[in-house]
Structure 1
Amino acid sequence: MRYFFEEYAFDTDRRELRRGADVVPTTPQVFDLLDYLIRNRERVVSKDDLISAVWNGRSVSDAALTTRLNVARNAIGDDGDKQRLIKTLPRKGFRFVGAVHEGQRPATSSSSSAAQNDDKAQRPLSPPHLSIVVLPFANLSGDPEQDYFVDGVTESLTTDLSRIRRSFVIARNSAFSYKGKSADVRQVGRELNVRYVLEGSVQRSGNRLRVNVQLVDARTENHLWAERFDKPVADLFEMQDEIVSRLANTLETQLIEAEARRAQRSLHPNSMDLYFQGMAWFNKGPTPDHMAQARGFFERALALDPEGVEALVGLAYVDGMTGAYLIDDGAARFAASETASTKAVTLAPDNALAHMLLGCAQMCTNRTAQGIAECERALQLNRNLADAHATIGAAKILIGRAAETETHVLEALRLSPRDSGVYRWLHWVGVAKLMLAADAEAVTWLRRSLETNRNNPLAHLHLGAALVLVEKPDEARAAIQEGLTLDPTFTIRRMRRMSDHPAFRAGGKRLRDAMRMAGVPEG
């Protein structure tokens, strides 16, 4: 439904507010608040009505409600003094009092003005962030019996992509209207108003199955990413789950990168534009510069939207990473990460990442059992959250069960082998091997981590320690130098105790001693 008032167009289907031809940035809560007020404009709505509709009945203070109302007023050119469109009735509630027309722009006394208004009303709306359609995959096997598997991949992928917060995924029924047709990507983008189109094909030959996929920019038809799976045929349903999980995880990373590139070109970035740019910097690796750049974008996003869950999650990531990797006393950073992730969980109880990051903060502050429970909650909310599997593996190091770390990380790699966090997961296995005195294996895992992303100073330093232990001192010194080049402030003193478990303390001492031998300064 479209609603028009003054120079604004409010589209509930596309979740977009426009002033003339320009999109007005709105957060989901502000949009929902406006939506409820406009739809119920014939009556006064109470505070409880708004809280039930917009916050799902969660406890919201009067101050928080007033803040969101003021943000909504500002989005439509109103304010708390004039209350031209949204009126507060003391001790009664609120009402949208602007003149609203549904479906088309009202005519004006000037025919030219009417023509201009009609033209504005007919202009296509800009596609939402992370908007995508998964077109029905093509069955290239020549066997109609394989259609059920091919359609199953398409449907499951549509469902899993919709779990990405703030994504706009075209429903299965609309997407399948293109089945069997030669679709023009630009036309599909225009008809469905999406930014991205995912195309794919499945071919079975003998005992092998090949799946090809490609992500396309619907406006330019540029191919942003492509992938191929070529596997022996086993259990088809297990294969479907594995293929879908890998695609969903990889696509989330690719979509964030694509949105970050778009945001760089925006003259007036909104909070989501800033969030995507922050995540692009975060994914580069834990160097001081990368984390500082990411923090700057997340803080700017929160300045625009103080209750933006994505930016809160981003800050929790940065503070947790900074506390674990980059500063001598991480207690303040872990506390900040816990504060941000707790607020995110409060605002969005079903946000799997927020639960996982809350768990990370707990693990890093000697509350490992609580942290594992939060990660398990994250997996209940999003079975494809590979990072949660790997994080549980890292937690096992803290409680003297480092032998189990590799299994958890292998599960994460099965779900998301090209994840932006792979370098961290491989690093954690390397540390686990050092704790177990499996030093040659540690060297192998740490080298794999650095091949994935060399911007992790701590992995270089841990590799130096492992190389000392396998009696390769020259290679050890070179690894240490690379780590200190990335982070010149690192010292042994930064290595902190995150657990009181005897096995962790013993392994930590062995690791610190090896790092000293390799040339890491004491501090």
Structure 2
Amino acid sequence: MRFLFDEYALDVDRRELHRGQEVVPVPPQVFDLIEYLIRNNERVVTKDDLISAIWNGRIISDAALTTRLNAARNAIGDTGEKQRLIKTLPRKGFRFVGAVQEVSRRTVDPLGSGAQRSDAMPSPSTAPRLSMVVLPFANIGGGLEQDYFVDGVTESLTTDLSRISGSFVIARNTAFTFKNKPVDVRKIGRELNVRYVLEGSVQRSGNRLRVAVQLIDAETGQHLWAERFDKPVADLFDMQDEIVSRLANALDAELVLAEAKRAERALNPNALELYFQGMVWIYKGPTRENLTTARAFFERALNVDPNSVEALLGKGRVEAAFGSTFVDEDRWVHCAAAEPLLTRVLSLAPNNALAHAFLGVVQMQTKRVESGIAECERALTLDRNLANAWGMIAYGKQLLGYAEQSVLSVQEAERLSPRDIFAFRWWNTAGVSKMLLGEDAAAVRWLRRCVEENRNYSIAHIHLAAALALSGELDEGRAAGRAGIALDPNFSIRRYRLGAASDNPMYLAGRERICLGLQIAGLP
């Protein structure tokens, strides 16, 4: 099916926009927007209509909608001033006002080519970044009840992956047309114009459920990532939520890394490509060198596009990381630099969950702990899978003297994302909370996990030194202290004491125990 208007042809079957014989590049969401407006050209469509049809009802900002409408107008040679084809009706909505002719794809092209439409499909190399389709998971050997469960996992994962900033996920109704059919992922990539295909299976064996998932590059067919985990069969609804949360968290990081590899090949990288490369350095751990390199990429991105939400958020994250660790003495300066960057992100994208979470961390570090926790809770209402927000809440609870609640929040973060890139930071928080409770042996266990996961995290070595010393393991404590000082030569107990982000008496009393442990371990 094709719609002809002005000098354009919108080919719905091939998802292509033509101007004469020329193919006009159009992002999938913009294509969907044009198609929806054309199909409903006899009426005014509201903002809510568009959000329901194009974004499956998920919350988007007015700025994001305006950006897509402007892109649609640009694609079909319209402007916001003339509005020859797409008209905005103030306080009412939008309407496609151009004359439209609906024709079969087999009709000879009336625009002058004299030939039938070519069957060539768009190349995956033109597909949007972070574009993917979640294929219906296979139900291996299960009955009807399990089939409902498997479809629920597929549908929920489709919804939750669409919350990843900058992602484009093919709608559930389209994805489910491939259910129980043999698939060629490269062909699917061409047909749907996506970069990635996610496929999986669910198998029940006795009282255990096995879930296997793999992420595939739709252009090359290469397997980029695979995960498999087994769980005891319990409440299927709760299991569905947990499985989706784990996969969404893991895929968020994997997709960023995959895009960063693509971006390395770009001769003139754009803002988003530079952002992805910066994120790789953030993922390597919060050392001065890694954070400085990441910031340089984000600043290059902002030179290309000063309003890049991703780059502003990236730079804000770097400043927040400098402000919430001990890798730099000017922690308060970094917090002061982070706050306006994150506030700017939220002015452009009010529902950006990560921006709310990192603004929360900055507020915690500047003795506005209750406000900071509220920001992180807001982040979780926007993205229920944001495990790192639970880790940040754990830190806030610790600052308020609620050490037991802090550990529980860490455990919730782990439940959502057990292999999270940032889990080492949560484990450091749990270790400190255990020391605040006087449970030094438990603190050692948490902090050993942290150090084993990321040996570049200086404060974890230092906290481990205190926990070991308080547990009577003096030699190991001194060795851990030396490792921490090697990573952070400027560390001192005085600096640590002055860096307290809370005036809560219970918290400060617990920190004095940690300082005693540091003295026993021989730190300066």
Shift of 1:142: 4.5
Aligned pair count reads 482
Q: In the alignment, which residue of structure 1 is the partner of 2:421?
A: 420
Q: In the alignment, which residue of structure 2 is the partner of 1:518?
A: 521
Q: In the alignment, which residue of structure 2 is the partner of 1:400?
A: 401
Does the Cα contact within 8 Å between 2:121 and 2:191 map onto a contact in 1? no
Shift of 1:298: 1.1
Residues 458 and 252 of structure 1, relative CA distance in 2, 3 Å threshold: same
Residues 316 and 5 of structure 1, relative CA distance in 2, 3 Å threshold: farther
Q: Distance in 2 between matches of 1:402 and 1:427?
A: 13
Q: In the alignment, which residue of structure 1 is the partner of 2:81?
A: 94
**Residue pairs, 1:367-406, within 5 angstroms:** 367-406=368-407
Shift of 1:362: 0.5
Does the Cα contact within 8 Å between 1:398 and 1:504 map onto a contact in 2? yes
Q: Distance in 2 between matches of 1:181 and 1:268?
A: 40
Q: Distance in 2 between matches of 1:198 and 1:391?
A: 30
Q: Distance in 2 between matches of 1:144 and 1:399?
A: 49
User: What are the superposed Cα offsets for residues 142-170 of structure 1, whole Å, 9 maximum, x if unpaired?
Assistant: 53442111111111111111111111101
Does the Cα contact within 8 Å between 1:334 and 1:361 map onto a contact in 2? yes
Q: In the alignment, which residue of structure 1 is the partner of 2:209?
A: 209
Does the Cα contact within 8 Å between 1:271 and 1:302 map onto a contact in 2? yes
Shift of 1:426: 0.5
SS in 2 for 1:497: coil
The letter for the 2-side match of 1:328 is E
SS in 1 for 2:464: helix
Residues 21 and 271 of structure 1, relative CA distance in 2, 3 Å threshold: farther
SS in 1 for 2:313: helix
**Residue pairs, 1:277-316, within 5 angstroms:** 277-316=277-316
SS in 1 for 2:151: helix
**Residue pairs, 1:268-283, within 5 angstroms:** 268-283=268-283
SS in 2 for 1:323: helix
Q: Distance in 1 between matches of 2:17 and 2:307?
A: 19
Q: Distance in 1 between matches of 2:6 and 2:489?
A: 58
Q: Distance in 1 between matches of 2:348 and 2:406?
A: 32
Stretches of structure 1 lacking an aligned partner (at least 5 in a row): 40-54, 59-64, 77-84, 88-92
Q: Distance in 1 between matches of 2:219 and 2:121?
A: 19
Q: In the alignment, which residue of structure 2 is the partner of 1:443?
A: 444
Q: In the alignment, which residue of structure 2 is the partner of 1:44?
A: none
Shift of 1:219: 1.5
User: What are the superposed Cα offsets for residues 292-322 of structure 1, whole Å, 9 maximum, x if unpaired?
Assistant: 1111111111222212111122112111111
Q: In the alignment, which residue of structure 1 is the partner of 2:135?
A: 135
Residues 354 and 3 of structure 1, relative CA distance in 2, 3 Å threshold: farther
The letter for the 1-side match of 2:130 is L
Residues 431 and 160 of structure 1, relative CA distance in 2, 3 Å threshold: same
Does the Cα contact within 8 Å between 1:457 and 1:486 map onto a contact in 2? yes
Shift of 1:232: 1.4
Single out whichever of 362-371 and 492-501 deviates more from structure 2.
492-501
SS in 2 for 1:213: strand
Q: Distance in 1 between matches of 2:217 and 2:62?
A: 39
**Residue pairs, 1:452-463, within 5 angstroms:** 452-463=453-464
TM-score by length of 1: 0.80
Shift of 1:5: 12
SS in 2 for 1:448: helix
Single out whichever of 297-306 and 510-519 deviates more from structure 2.
510-519
Does the Cα contact within 8 Å between 2:61 and 2:349 map onto a contact in 1? no
Shift of 1:461: 1.0
Single out whichever of 289-298 and 300-309 deviates more from structure 2.
300-309
Q: Distance in 1 between matches of 2:15 and 2:482?
A: 52
Q: In the alignment, which residue of structure 2 is the partner of 1:42?
A: none
The letter for the 1-side match of 2:123 is P
Residues 316 and 3 of structure 1, relative CA distance in 2, 3 Å threshold: farther
Q: Distance in 1 between matches of 2:450 and 2:173?
A: 42
Does the Cα contact within 8 Å between 2:302 and 2:308 map onto a contact in 1? yes
Q: Distance in 2 between matches of 1:261 and 1:380?
A: 32
The letter for the 1-side match of 2:500 is R
Shift of 1:411: 0.6
Q: Distance in 1 between matches of 2:337 and 2:173?
A: 44
Shift of 1:287: 0.6
**Residue pairs, 1:464-483, within 5 angstroms:** 464-483=465-484
User: What are the superposed Cα offsets for residues 480-505 of structure 1, whole Å, 9 maximum, x if unpaired?
Assistant: 22222223333334320211111122
Shift of 1:206: 2.1
Stretches of structure 2 lacking an aligned partner (at least 5 in a row): 39-59, 86-97
Does the Cα contact within 8 Å between 1:313 and 1:354 map onto a contact in 2? yes
SS in 1 for 2:81: strand
The letter for the 2-side match of 1:314 is G
Q: Distance in 2 between matches of 1:127 and 1:17?
A: 17
The letter for the 2-side match of 1:124 is S
Does the Cα contact within 8 Å between 1:189 and 1:196 map onto a contact in 2? yes
Kindly, what percent of the aligned residue pairs are identical? 53
Q: In the alignment, which residue of structure 2 is the partner of 1:124?
A: 123
Does the Cα contact within 8 Å between 1:359 and 1:374 map onto a contact in 2? yes
Residues 335 and 2 of structure 1, relative CA distance in 2, 3 Å threshold: farther
**Residue pairs, 1:135-154, within 5 angstroms:** 135-154=135-154
Q: In the alignment, which residue of structure 2 is the partner of 1:62?
A: none
Q: In the alignment, which residue of structure 1 is the partner of 2:267?
A: 267
Shift of 1:518: 2.1
Single out whichever of 212-221 and 422-431 deviates more from structure 2.
212-221
Shift of 1:338: 1.3
TM-score by length of 2: 0.80
The partner residue of 1:499 within 499, 502, 514 is: 502
Shift of 1:123: 5.2
